[in-house]
C-alpha cells in the first residue's frame, strides 16, 4: 500500500437530512365536500451511516470528501400519504474505525465487524399531519407539524489497524525486514530510522492453511506518548493487536533497557496494553555467533518468552511462527462468543 494512500485520520462535516413537513389537508372528492383531516406525515430525513467493510483498509475515500450531505424527507400529502424518507448516505470504512465528536472529543462508537452499521448523524423526524390532531373537540385541525431539522456536526474518524500481531520496536530495529520475510508485504526498507511512516499489514501463512495478520507499526522512541517522533499518532494501532512482538537488535547497547523503555511508552499511552501477550525477538543475529548469543541470554528481561532471529538469514523464523501462532490461537479462543 502506497504511503500516500494510507489515511488513518479524517475530519468530515456530516449534515443529515431535514424531516419533511406534515400535511394540513382535508378529504375532498366527488362524494365528500367537507371531509375530515387526512394530512399525511412528513418523511424522515436521511441518516449518515458508517458501515464496516473488511475489504477497505484505509480512510482514503473520505480524505477529499469533507462534506457529507444526506437527503431531505418529502412532505406529507392528502389521503394520509406519508412523505418518502430522505436518502441515507452510507460510508464504507475499515474495521477498527473510531468515530468521535470533533469539538468535544467524545467517542461515539467503534466499527469492528464486517457489515456493522452505525448512525453517525441522525436525520430529522418528519412532522405529523393534521389527522393526528383531530379530537372530539377539534374535528378540523388546521395545523400540522413541521419536520425536524437535520444536524450539521464535524466528526473525526480514526483508524486502529486490526491485526493479530503488532511489531513493537525502536526505529531501524528490523520490523519491516521481518514483515517482508514472513509475509508477502513489501514495505520500504532502508538503513536509516523512520523508514516506515505508515503501518504495513501482511498475512503470515502458517501450517495447514492457517494464517494470521501481522502489522508493522512505525518505530517508537522515548517520550513517544508525548508526541515525540511520530508520537502517539500510530500508538493507537497497537491497541487492536491480539499480541505484541517486541524487536530489539542484538547490537543494542542494553537489550533490557530498550525493552523497559518500549514497555514504559506503551504503559504511559495506555496501561491496558500491558495486559496483551508479549514475545521478545532479538534481531539481526546473523551478525553474532552462537557463543555470543549465550552471553546475551542473562541480559534478557525476565518474564517474557524470547527468541534469537535473523530475518535476512531466515534464522529462527519457523520457531518464531510457532510461538506467535500459539499466542494468537490462545487469545482468540479466550474471546467470548458473540450472541446471535
Full domain range(s) for residue 63 = 1-159
Report which of 90, 87, 86, 144 is spatially closest to residue 116, judged by C-alpha positions.
90
| pLDDT score for 251 | 87
Per the listing, cell 520475510 goes with 181
Which of 134, 159, 184 marks a domain boundary? 159
Radius of gyration of the chain (CA): 28
Residues 79 and 170 occupy one common structural domain: no
d(CA 237, CA 57): 13
Domain assignment present for residue 83? The answer is yes
Cell numbers linked to 20: 419533511
Residues 68 and 122 occupy one common structural domain: yes
CA angle 241–243–249, rounded 5-degree value? 110
Residues 21 and 52 occupy one common structural domain: yes
- Across the beta sheet with 117-121, the strand order is 89-93, 48-52, 117-121
Domain assignment present for residue 304? The answer is yes
Helix runs in the chain, H state only: 175-182, 255-269, 290-296, 317-334
Domain assignment present for residue 339? The answer is no
| pLDDT score for 91 | 96
CATH number at residue 193: 3.40.50.300
Residues 103 and 198 occupy one common structural domain: no
Cell numbers linked to 109: 462508537
Q: What is the pLDDT of residues 109-147, one digit of tens each?
A: 999 899 999 999 999 999 999 999 999 899 899 999 999
Residues 173 and 148 occupy one common structural domain: no
Residues 206 and 78 occupy one common structural domain: no
Which of 159, 176, 203 marks a domain boundary? 159
Residues 150 and 184 occupy one common structural domain: no
| pLDDT score for 302 | 86
Residues 231 and 315 occupy one common structural domain: yes
Helix (H) or strand (E) segment spanning residue 121: strand 117-121
Residues 138 and 258 occupy one common structural domain: no
Residues 260 and 129 occupy one common structural domain: no
Residues 327 and 262 occupy one common structural domain: yes
CATH number at residue 12: 2.70.210.12
Residues 86 and 169 occupy one common structural domain: no
| pLDDT score for 332 | 57
Which of 119, 139, 159 marks a domain boundary? 159
- pLDDT means per 10 residues, the chain with 340 residues, are 66 97 90 87 97 89 92 95 96 93 93 95 96 91 95 93 83 83 64 51 83 80 50 67 90 90 85 90 89 88 90 90 89 51
Domain assignment present for residue 221? The answer is yes
Amino acid at each position: 500500500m502506497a504511503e500516500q494512500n494510507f489515511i488513518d485520520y479524517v475530519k468530515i462535516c456530516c449534515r443529515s437530512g431535514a424531516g419533511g413537513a406534515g400535511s394540513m389537508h382535508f378529504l375532498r372528492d366527488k362524494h365528500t365536500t367537507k371531509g375530515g383531516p387526512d394530512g399525511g406525515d412528513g418523511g424522515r430525513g436521511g441518516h449518515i451511516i458508517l458501515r464496516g467493510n473488511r475489504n477497505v483498509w484505509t480512510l482514503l475515500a473520505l480524505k477529499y470528501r469533507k462534506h457529507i450531505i444526506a437527503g431531505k424527507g418529502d412532505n406529507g400529502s392528502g389521503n394520509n400519504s406519508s412523505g418518502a424518507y430522505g436518502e441515507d448516505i452510507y460510508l464504507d470504512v475499515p474495521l477498527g474505525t473510531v468515530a468521535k465528536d470533533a469539538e468535544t472529543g467524545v467517542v461515539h462508537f467503534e466499527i469492528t465487524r464486517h457489515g456493522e452499521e452505525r448512525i453517525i448523524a441522525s436525520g430529522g423526524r418528519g412532522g405529523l399531519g393534521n389527522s393526528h390532531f383531530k379530537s372530539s373537540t377539534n374535528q378540523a385541525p388546521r395545523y400540522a407539524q413541521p419536520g425536524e431539522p437535520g444536524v450539521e456536526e464535524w466528526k473525526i474518524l480514526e483508524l486502529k489497524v486490526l491485526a493479530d500481531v503488532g511489531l513493537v520496536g525502536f526505529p531501524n530495529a528490523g520490523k519491516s525486514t521481518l514483515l517482508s520475510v514472513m509475509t508477502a508485504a513489501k514495505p520500504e526498507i532502508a538503513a536509516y530510522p523512520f523508514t516506515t511512516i505508515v503501518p504495513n499489514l501482511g498475512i503470515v501463512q502458517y501450517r495447514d492453511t492457517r494464517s494470521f495478520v501481522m502489522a508493522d507499526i512505525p518505530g517508537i522512541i522515548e517520550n513517544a506518548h508525548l508526541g515525540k517522533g511520530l508520537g502517539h499518532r500510530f500508538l493507537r494501532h497497537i491497541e487492536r493487536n491480539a499480541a505484541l512482538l517486541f524487536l530489539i537488535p542484538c547490537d543494542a547497547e542494553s537489550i533490557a533497557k530498550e525493552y523497559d523503555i518500549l514497555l514504559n511508552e506503551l504503559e504511559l499511552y495506555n496501561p491496558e496494553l500491558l495486559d496483551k501477550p508479549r514475545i521478545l525477538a532479538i534481531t539481526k543475529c546473523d551478525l553474532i555467533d552462537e557463543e555470543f548469543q549465550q552471553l546475551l541470554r542473562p541480559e534478557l528481561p525476565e518474564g517474557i518468552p524470547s527468541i534469537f532471529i535473523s530475518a535476512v538469514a531466515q534464522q529462527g523464523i519457523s520457531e518464531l511462527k510457532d510461538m506467535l501462532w500459539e499466542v494468537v490461537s490462545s487469545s482468540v479462543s479466550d474471546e467470548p462468543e458473540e450472541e446471535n
